[in-house]
Amino acid sequence: MPRIIHWYIFKETAVPFVLGMAVFTFVLLMGRLLKLAEMVFAKGVPLFDVLRLVFYMLPSFFLVAIPMAFLLAILLAFGRLSADSEITAMKASGLGIGSLMPPVLAFAALAYLATTFVTVYALPKGNLSFKKFLYDVIETRAATSIKEKVFNDDFPGLVVYVDDYDLTTHKISGILIQDERDPDDPSTIFASSGMLVSSPEDKTVRLHLENGSIHRGVESGGYRLIEFRNYDLNVILQQRDLKEKLNEQDMTIGELMEHHRNPQGEAKFNRDVTIELHRRFSMPFACFVFAIIGVPLGIQNLRSGRAGGFSAGIVLLLLYYMLMSAGKTFAEKELVPVAVAVWMPNVFFVAFGALLLNKAAQERDLPLVGAIRITIARIKASLSRLRGTP
C-alpha cells in the first residue's frame, strides 16, 4: 500500500515539475530576448547562431529553474491532494506526514543530482562556449554592423562615427574616429571619405581614409595635427586572450579546487573562487530545502485555501534567494566566513522546514501562511469596497 501511494505522489509531482521547468526557463529567457533580437535584426547574426547562444545559456537558467520548478511541483501536487481530501484519506488509513516524505525526498535527490550536474559540468562548459562563440560572432560581424549617424563601438579600442555608409560598396563619408587603442597616446581622426575593407578569415578590418587629419595631444598641453590625403587604419578584431576575460564562473570544479589550494593573483579573485566553490554545491541543496518546506505548505492549502500555502511558498522562494544573494555579498566583503555566509540560508530554511513539518503533523496553522491569508483577505475586502464606491 505505501509503495503504491509513494509512486502516486511521485507521478503527481512529475507533471507540474515539467511544466514549471518550461515556464521558469521561458521567463528567464525573456530577460535576454531584447539583446538576442538586436543581434538578429541589427547586427545580422543568423537565427541559428542565436539559437546556439541560447543553448549555451541554458545551464545558467537550469541552475535556478530546477529548484524553483521542484518547489512549484510540490506546492501544486500536495495542494491538489489536499483540496480533493486525498491527504485526509491517507491520514485516516494510518499514514502520517513522515510517510508521505519518501517520494518527495526521492524526487528531491533526482533534482539535486541534476542541478549538481549543471553546476559541476554544464555551467562552466556552457559559459565558456557562450563567450567563445559570442566573441567569434562579434569579430565576424563587426565590419558589417556599422551604422550611419551612430557612434559604433564594435571595433576594439575605437569609436567610429560616419554620416553615410554604402552596404554594397562599403564606401563611407563624414568620418570621425576616436582611437584609444593606446591609452597613453589617444587620437582623434577626421576624414571626408573612405572605404571599409574587412577580412573575416584574418579577423581584421582596414579603414582606408581620404582627405583628413589626425589630432593627438602632447605632454605640454597642446596637440599635434597631421593632415593626410590617404591613410590606412588597420584594426585587429581578435579580442584579448580569452583567459584574461574568464572569471570564476567559467572554471571547472577541478580548476576551482586547484586555485583554492594554490591561490594566485589578486585577493579579491581568490575570495571569489572560494565563494564560487561553495556555491556550486550549496545551490543544488535548495532542492532538499524546498522538499522539506513545500510539503507542509502544500498540505496547508486544505485549511487556508489554495492561495495561502502557494503564496507562502512563493514568498519563501524569494526570501531564500535573497538570503543567498546577501550571503554572497557578506562573503565578498569579508563580514563573515565564506562557508557560513554561503551555507547559512540552507541551514536556516531546513530548520524552518522542520518546524513547518512538525506543525503540519499536529494539524496546526503554519506561521507565515496565516499572515498571508489575512493579508489576502484584507486586500479582497479593500477591492470590494472600492468597487462598491460610487
Higher-pLDDT residue of 312 and 373 is 312
Whether residue 230 sits in one domain with residue 378: no
Neighbouring residues of 191: CB distance < 8 A, sequence distance ≥ 6: 175, 177, 209, 210, 211, 212, 213, 231
Q: Which of 183, 204, 236 is the last residue of a domain?
A: 236
Q: Is the residue at 108 inside a domain? A: yes
pLDDT at 303: 47
Whether residue 208 sits in one domain with residue 332: no
Measuring CA to CA, which residue among 158, 154, 210 is closest to residue 187?
A: 158
Whether residue 196 sits in one domain with residue 57: no
pTM exceeds cut of 0.75 = no
- Domain count of the chain? 2
Whether residue 253 sits in one domain with residue 359: yes
Task: Give 336's pLDDT tier (boundaries 50, 70, 90).
Answer: confident
Average pLDDT over residues 113-140: 82
Q: Tens digits of per-residue pLDDT, 165-221?
A: 887 788 889 999 998 888 888 889 999 999 887 765 566 778 889 999 998 877 766
Q: Is the residue at 28 inside a domain? A: yes
Whether residue 304 sits in one domain with residue 185: no
| Helix, strand or coil, per DSSP, at residue 197 | strand
Q: Is the residue at 387 inside a domain? A: no
Structural domain boundaries, residue 224: 158-236
pLDDT at 114: 93
Whether residue 290 sits in one domain with residue 250: yes
Whether residue 253 sits in one domain with residue 113: yes
Q: Is the residue at 204 inside a domain? A: yes
pLDDT at 242: 46
Q: Tens digits of per-residue pLDDT, 21-37?
A: 998 898 888 877 777 77
Whether residue 133 sits in one domain with residue 13: yes
Whether residue 11 sits in one domain with residue 110: yes
Q: Is the residue at 145 inside a domain? A: no
pLDDT at 241: 45
Q: Is the residue at 116 inside a domain? A: yes
Average pLDDT over residues 267-276: 82
Q: Is the residue at 365 inside a domain? A: yes
pLDDT at 273: 83
Residue 31: C-alpha distances to residues 37, 54, 123, 300, 326 (Å) = 11, 12, 18, 33, 22
Whether residue 272 sits in one domain with residue 351: yes
